[in-house]
Amino acid sequence: MLSVLRNRTYRHLFTAQAIALIGTGLATVALGLLAYDIAGAQAGSVLGTALAIKMVAYVAIAPAIGAVADRIPRRALMVGADLTRAAVALTLPFVDQVWQVYVLIFALQAASAALTPTFQAVIPDVLPNERDYTQALSLSRLAYDLESLFSPALAAALLAFISYNWLFLGTVGGFLASAALVVSAVLPKPVPPPKREGGAYAKATAGSRMFFKAPSLRALLLLNLAVAAASAMVTVNTVVYVRSHLGRTTGDVAFALGAYGAGSMAVALLLPRVLHRVADRTVMLRGALLLTLVFAAVGGITAAGAGAWRWPALLAAWAAFGAACSMVLTPTGRLIRRTAPPEDRTAAFAAQFSLSHACWLLTYPLAGWLGAAAGLQWAVIALGAIAFTAAVLAVRLWPRGDGNEKPHTHTDLDAGHPHLAGAAQVSGGWSHSHGLNADSLHPVATAAAAR
Span 5-21, average pLDDT: 89
198: left (phi over 0), alpha (psi -120 to 50) or beta: left
CA distance 368 to 261: 21
Fold classified for 205-403:
Growth Hormone; Chain: A; (1.20.1250)
Residue 41 CA from chain centroid, whole number: 31
Residue 281's contacts (CB-CB under 8 Å, 6 or more residues apart) are 216, 398, 400, 402, 403
Greatest mean pLDDT among 68-77, 288-297, 335-344 lies in 288-297
Give percent of the chain above pLDDT 70. Answer: 82
Span 406-434, average pLDDT: 66
Q: Give the pLDDT band of residue 300 (cuts 50, 70, 90).
A: very high
Q: Give the pLDDT band of residue 307 (cuts 50, 70, 90).
A: confident
- Across the strands, what pairs with 434? 406
pLDDT of residue 445: 47
Residue 417's contacts (CB-CB under 8 Å, 6 or more residues apart) are 410
pLDDT in tens, 357-402: 889 888 888 888 888 788 889 999 999 999 999 999 999 999 876 6
- Looking at the whole model, is its pTM more than 0.75? yes
Query: Taking each helix axis from N to C terminus, what angle separates 74-91 and 98-126, rounded to the nearest 10 degrees?
Result: 150
> Range with the lowest mean pLDDT among 26-40, 114-128, 199-213, 395-409?
199-213
CA distance 53 to 110: 10
Can you tell me whether residue 421 is helix, strand or coil? coil
